[in-house]
Structure 1
Amino acid sequence: MTLEDLTTDVEETYGELGESIDVELDRETRTELAMLLAATGADADELVRRGIHALFRTTVDTGDLDFQLRNGYDVSYDEYLMGMSVDEMAGESQYPQRDDERRYRM
């Protein structure tokens, strides 16, 4: 898959998510959410948003996001943000592929 495939998948998923999602909570998650709500005084929606931000940041910082993107799309998060691959940035895509069989023909 490519950078274009990733961009398309992100845009499609973004559109499918809409403004809110329903999430089923298991016992452990419900207990942890209740503890955070009691301790912070925030509302559940805000804590879920913060949790997603924290998970995203951790995934980026540890390199896990790049690992997953490289496996699935053969791009990194930086390449996604810039909208071009490292090869495109280096100008490799502007030169024709080398043909060693015809290289020394006159």
Structure 2
Amino acid sequence: MSLDDLQTDVELAYEDLDDYAFLDRESRQELAMLSAALDADTDELLRRAVHLLFQSTTDTGRLDFHLRGAYDVTYDEYLTGVTYDEMAGAQAPPEPDQDRRYQF
């Protein structure tokens, strides 16, 4: 494969992104490049991107920072359904929420 082949594949992938009009031009170009280079489905690449962003945000502590600022809890507190104060006995813990079983 050559540079011309890559250019053609990226252009074809870019043209296939009509359903993704919500993306800006730069994001569409980057998605087209990833799609051509990795020979991957666009929807799968977007799913991977969400997982990667979530993992990165969690690993760096930015998720906890934003959760603490907006909701006064951390991600660990969300997963357990109990705040640190409740764990330490300062408050009575709430009833367990069976709908929240997602574990990171």
> What's the TM-score, normalizing by structure 2?
0.67
Is 2:78 the partner of 1:80? yes
Q: What are the Cα deviations for residues 71-102 of structure 1, in whole angstroms up to 9, with x where unaligned?
A: 000000000000000011111115xxxxxxxx
Gaps of 5+ in 2: 1-19, 93-104
Instruction: Give 4+ residue runs of structure 1 displaced > 6 Å after superposition.
Output: none
Unmatched tracts of structure 1, length 5 or more: 1-21, 95-106
**CA distances 1:12-62 after superposition (whole Å, capped 9, x unpaired):** xxxxxxxxxx66111100110000000111100000000000000000011
Higher RCO (C-alpha 8 Å, min separation 6) = 1
Q: Residues 27-46 of structure 1: matches in 2 within 5 Å?
A: 27-46=25-44
The whole-number CA distance in structure 2 between the counterparts of 1:85 and 1:66 is 13
CA RMSD of aligned residues (A): 1.2
**Using the alignment, how far apart are the partners of 1:85 and 1:23 within structure 2?**
41
Cα 1:87–1:23 shift into 2, 3 Å:
farther
Calculate percent identity across the aligned residue pairs. 62
Instruction: Specify the alignment match of 1:65 in structure 2.
Output: 63
1:67 offset after TM fit, Å? Answer: 0.4
